[in-house]
């Protein structure tokens, strides 16, 4: 499957809005009928390349003329760099079908606790708008963590949803009233959301934030906890019959690194900080394409790889299971 097949929806950029010093929203005109659910994401083709990246559809179905992508610029990030530095109104971008199950439409509840940090607000904002419009009887409390007041994305919209939306903003630096100071903690959760055990918790943000938040909400009795994964979870330290394999890369200062036999190649590379990009982690987007010089392995997907690349030893790291020592180009 090539990127044209993977991202068949062509949309034109109508306008671009700067949300914060490093976040922009692209408003796209959908000339067809693109159907998605609040909270879902799409893969976006990057320029004319065969690479794609995943971004939340930050607009809400039925509530906007446009389909929007809200993107934080990351230095040396190919996807965010192209979308926030090169794309301009009138240009076209190509999207995949909507993807993901992180949606309030798929997980209905009478009481929600929405947790977001940084750009993790994008699917949460989409769901908050949808719930306000379609299920106004729903009790929704949002706790949003940011670096500073100027980093609050969708600030005006969040305030407009009050008092229906119970909103708590936590700023790590220079908080402004009525913001809380510091970081999300079990103490803040217990104080702000005393009925947390009765709520469905949905969270999105950096991996360490979600790891800590999930531990805290479960400690307070939350049972239904859902999280959007933008990065891989830390691999679990397990071994298969005591066997450990080794990964070596001649181009890296890290010459040899051990990892458990049960890990994928992607998990091993990320654990040992070898350069690799991953989006879907399911053998679909092709971002984690990696060349294996030698070693035995099995693969469960070759989507996006040409016959020539496969013959040259390229694999999708997320779908590659090493069967012994393996060497990368």
pLDDT given at position 238: 34
pLDDT given at position 248: 65
**Does the model's pTM come out above 0.75?**
no
pLDDT given at position 6: 81
Q: Is the predicted pLDDT of residue 255 greater than 70, yes or no?
A: no
pLDDT given at position 231: 37
Q: Is the predicted pLDDT of residue 116 greater than 50, yes or no?
A: yes
CB hemisphere CA count around 33 (13 angstroms): 0
Q: What's the whole-number mean pLDDT along residues 319-327?
A: 85
DSSP string computed for 119-176? GGHHHHHHHHHHHHHH-TTSEEEEEEEESSGGG-TTHHHHHHTTTTEEEEEEESSS--
Alpha-carbon gap, residue 186 to 216, rounded angstroms: 5
b/e code 142-178 from CB counts within 10 Å (16+ = b) = bbbbbeeeebbbbbeebeebeeebbbbbbbeeebeee
Give the domains, in start order, of the chain with CATH numbers: 3-95 (2.40.30.10), 111-228 (3.40.50.80), 244-328 (3.10.20.30)
Q: What's the whole-number mean pLDDT along residues 259-273?
A: 78
pLDDT given at position 246: 58
| Helices and strands per DSSP (H, E), number in the chain | 8, 17
pLDDT given at position 245: 54
Question: Which range among 150-164, 181-195, 281-295 shows the weakest confidence by mean pLDDT?
Answer: 281-295
Full strand arrangement of the beta sheet holding 165-171: 180-181, 165-171, 139-146, 111-117, 200-204, 225-228
Q: What is the pLDDT of residues 87-111, one digit of tens each?
A: 999 999 999 999 888 999 999 999 9
Residue 225: both structure tokens together: 């906890």
Q: How far is CA 62 from CA 54, 128, 133, 177, 302, in A?
A: 22, 13, 10, 34, 36
Per-chain mean pLDDT for the chain: 87
Percent of the chain clearing pLDDT 70 (strictly above): 89
66 and 23 in contact (C-beta within 8 Å)? no
Q: Is the predicted pLDDT of residue 252 greater than 90, yes or no?
A: no
Q: Is the predicted pLDDT of residue 251 greater than 50, yes or no?
A: no
Q: Is the predicted pLDDT of residue 237 greater than 50, yes or no?
A: no
pLDDT given at position 4: 59
């Amino acid at each position: 499957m090539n990127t044209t097949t993977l991202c068949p929806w062509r949309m034109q950029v109508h306008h671009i809005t700067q949300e914060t010093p490093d976040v922009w929203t692209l408003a796209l005109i959908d000339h067809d009928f693109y159907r998605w659910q609040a909270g879902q994401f799409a893969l976006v083709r990057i320029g004319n390349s065969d690479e794609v990246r995943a971004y939340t559809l930050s607009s809400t179905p039925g509530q906007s003329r446009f389909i929007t992508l809200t993107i934080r610029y990351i230095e040396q990030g190919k996807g965010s760099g192209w979308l926030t530095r090169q794309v301009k109104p009138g240009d076209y971008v190509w999207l995949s079908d909507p993807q993901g199950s992180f949606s309030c439409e798929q997980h209905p509840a009478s009481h929600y606790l929405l947790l977001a940090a940084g750009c993790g607000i994008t699917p949460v904002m989409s769901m908050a708008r949808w719930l306000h419009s379609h299920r106004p009887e729903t009790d929704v409390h949002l706790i949003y963590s940011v670096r500073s007041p100027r980093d609050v994305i969708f600030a005006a919209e969040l305030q407009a949803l009050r008092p229906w939306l119970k909103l708590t903003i936590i700023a790590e630096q220079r908080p402004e009233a009525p913001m809380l100071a510091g970081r999300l903690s079990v103490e803040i959760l217990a104080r702000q959301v005393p009925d947390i055990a009765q709520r469905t918790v949905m969270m999105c943000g950096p991996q360490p934030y979600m790891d800590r938040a999930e531990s805290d909400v479960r400690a307070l009795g939350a049972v239904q906890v859902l999280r959007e994964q933008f990065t891989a979870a830390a691999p679990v330290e397990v071994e298969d019959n005591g066997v450990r394999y080794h990964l070596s890369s001649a181009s890296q200062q890290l010459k040899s690194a051990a990892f458990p036999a049960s890990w994928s190649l992607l998990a091993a590379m990320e654990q040992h900080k070898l350069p690799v990009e991953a989006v879907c982690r399911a053998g679909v987007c092709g971002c984690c394409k990696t060349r294996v010089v030698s070693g035995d392995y099995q693969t469960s997907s070759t989507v996006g790889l040409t016959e020539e690349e496969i013959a040259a030893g390229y694999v999708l790291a997320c779908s590659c299971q090493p069967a012994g020592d393996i060497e990368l180009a």
